[in-house]
Amino acid sequence: MLSRPFTIVVSGKGGTGKTTLCSLLVRSFIDIGEKPVLAVDADPNANLHEALGVTVSETLGSMREEAFTRRIPPGMNRHDYVRFRFRQALVEAEGFDLVAMGRPEGSGCYCFANDLLSECMTELEREYRFIVIDTEAGMEHISRGTIGKPDMLLIVSDPGARGLRTISRIREIATLLGLEPAKIHIVFNKYKSGTAPVDIGNEIPIAILPDDYSVEAADLAATPVSQVPLNSPARMVVRELAEKIRSLAKEHTGA
């Protein structure tokens, strides 16, 4: 039993399969009995809910904006109102919850609101075994401290040159933000037989997801990719990854 949740951030160039990996990872943790899981969509182009098969009615970005423009109910201060609305923004599903960060509309300083959101995220952490965060390559939410410092960073890349070059850039950003190199791992996605001739160092990928027809078929049919068959190649690899992460989490916490 983990004493606190183990947080995994998934990053990479757009189109490399970050959201696919996140959704399959959430489902895999549930499959191996590690629930509940908190899924966080920290990518402004939010679509993790579609991959997981749930509906999001609002993001925290819009809720944060509302807290500074809407009349607060009597008996509530703005701080309490943000915490209340944060809970309302959670999408509850079987085995996992989802929250979409989004981005604020309008202009101005959101330092106070960011602090409140960070506090709310800390409160939520007490309720989950694993937190899986789908984020953009720049990892702005980590640099702002909204989602804290992760226990693991998975950098996803397809075999193409642009995706591979992004690995080095994300690794550099993560290191500058104080993340230890041992917590940074590479995941290859849509892998067939090799990668472009780009130097990414000698690190062995923690997982290699094959080019999987069932994932492509789910995309084309607009069905949740997390619900591809249990024996699909990608889902089987991600389940092995989830078990590997569970072992690392136990080592990390001394459980």
- Residue 11 belongs to a domain: yes
Give all strands of the β-sheet with 130-134 in edge-to-edge order: 91-93, 96-100, 37-41, 130-134, 6-12, 152-157, 184-191, 207-210
Residue 194: what pLDDT? 80
Position 15 scores a pLDDT of 83
Domain that holds residue 227: 6-253
Does 160 reside within a domain?
A: yes
Residue 43 lies in a domain: yes
Give the integer Cα–Cα distance in Å for 188 and 138: 19
- The region of weakest confidence among 7-16, 62-71, 107-116, 162-171 is 107-116
Q: Is residue 243 part of a domain?
A: yes
- Answer whether residue 231 is part of any domain: yes
User: Number of structural domains, the chain?
Assistant: 1
Strand-pairing partners, residue 96, are: 37, 93
The domain that contains 179 carries what CATH number?
3.40.50.300
Which residues, in sequence order, are bridge partners of residue 187?
Answer: 156, 207
- CA dihedral (10, 13, 16, 20) in degrees, to 10, reads 30
Range picked from 98-102, 194-198, 219-223 for highest mean pLDDT = 219-223
- The HSE-up count of residue 255 (CA atoms within 13 Å, CB side) is 14
Helical H segments across 126-232, by residue range: 140-144, 161-176, 213-221
At 220 the pLDDT is: 85
User: Are the C-beta atoms of residues 17 and 212 closer than 8 Å to each other?
Assistant: no
Q: Strands (DSSP E) along the chain, which ranges?
A: 6-12, 37-41, 91-93, 96-100, 130-134, 152-157, 184-191, 207-210
In a domain, 1, yes or no: no
**pLDDT at residue 201 is higher than 70:** yes
